[in-house]
Amino acid sequence: MQVHSSGKIFREQKVVSVTRKDQVYTILRQAIISSQLSPGEAIRKEIVAAQLGVSRTPVSDAINRLADEGLVEIYPQTGTFVARLWLDKIETAQFVRLALETAAIRRAAERITPDTLTLFRQNLEQQRRAAERLDFEQFYELDEALHDMICDAAGLVGLREIASKERSQIDRVRRLLLHYETRMMETLIEHEAIIEAIAEKDPERAARTMEAHILQMGKLLMHLREKRPELFGS
């Protein structure tokens, strides 16, 4: 594992600073969201540290951050576990996501530029191709990227990071749902409707369309809970 490859700072503005704890954080987060690590599974700090070739410190730091984000559960003096799925927490995350993204899309619709719109449409085109070849993973990534782009289009510094963090729980669930996902085409059509509303600078319609889109996930979630109860908490 590389050491801080470049911690450049202009004293007023942090350019980039990739410390080991940041790298460990990114690796673990990715592993959790992609379900390489299963909900409920123990995380042994010492082993993770050994595997990544670092000491326990940056691993602990990364795990603390993940705990804040709700992706791991730390039981003091006992152990650290990949967080199980809690329906009530998912409900809250869904609510927050809905509130933030509908508000963001309203702003985006008001201040959309042709350039950004072109980026949106390129993304949609790629989504269409991914859907046609049934490439779930790729489709999912493009989906996430589109939501990020909409956040950026709202023109608020740091909003994407906040939205992305609050979406962690949802992203995990969506990943697990991928293989039960049969509505890729429907999802694509919803995305197109959202972008269309933005293009027409119609904030209200954009927000309502986004809302309908986000709420689709609820039913699938119940399906997952029946199929894989072991992933869920109490």
Partner DNA sequence: AAATAACACCTAACATGTTACACGCTAGCT
Partner DNA sequence: AGCTAGCGTGTAACATGTTAGGTGTTATTT
Contact positions vs DNA (CB under 7 A): 3-4, 6-11, 17, 19-21, 43-46, 54-58, 60-61, 64, 74-80
Taking a C-beta distance cutoff of 8 angstroms, is the pair 135, 183 a contact? no
Q: Which of 41, 46, 68, 137 binds a copy of itself (CB under 8 A)?
A: 68
Supply angle C-alpha 102, 25, 175, rounded to 5.
Answer: 50
Query: Which run of H or of E encompasses 205?
Result: helix 203-215
Q: Select the binding partner of residue 157 from DNA, a copy of itself, none (C-beta < 5 to 8 A, by kind).
A: a copy of itself
Nearer to a copy of itself, 77 or 182 (CB): 77
Q: 3 contacts which partner out of a copy of itself, DNA, none, CB within 5 to 8 A by kind?
A: DNA
Q: How many CB atoms lie within 10 A of CB 132?
A: 12
| Residue 233 contact partner, candidates DNA, a copy of itself, none, CB within 5 to 8 A by sort of partner | a copy of itself
Per CB under 8 A, 2 contacts a copy of itself? no
Contact region for a copy of itself (CB under 8 A) — 29-37, 91-99, 122-130, 138-146? Answer: 91-99
Cβ(152)–Cβ(161) under 8 Å?
no
DSSP class per residue in 31-84:
HHHTTSSPTT-EE-HHHHHHHHT--HHHHHHHHHHHHHTTSEEEETTTEEEEPP
For tokens 């609510």, what's the residue? 95
Residue 148 to residue 160: CA distance in whole angstroms = 6
Which of 3, 47, 50, 162 lies at the binding interface for a copy of itself (CB under 8 A)?
A: 162
Query: Which burial class, exposed, middle or buried, applies to 111 when counting CB atoms under 10 A from its CB (0-12, 13-18, 19+)?
Result: exposed
For residue 221, the minimal CB distance to a copy of itself (Å) is 16
Query: Exactly one of 1, 3, 5, 17 binds a copy of itself (CB under 8 A); which one?
Result: 17
Residues of this chain that bind a copy of itself (CB under 8 A) = 4, 7, 9, 11-14, 17, 19, 61, 64-65, 68, 73, 75-78, 86, 88-89, 91-92, 95-96, 98-100, 102-104, 107, 154, 156-159, 162, 166, 233-234
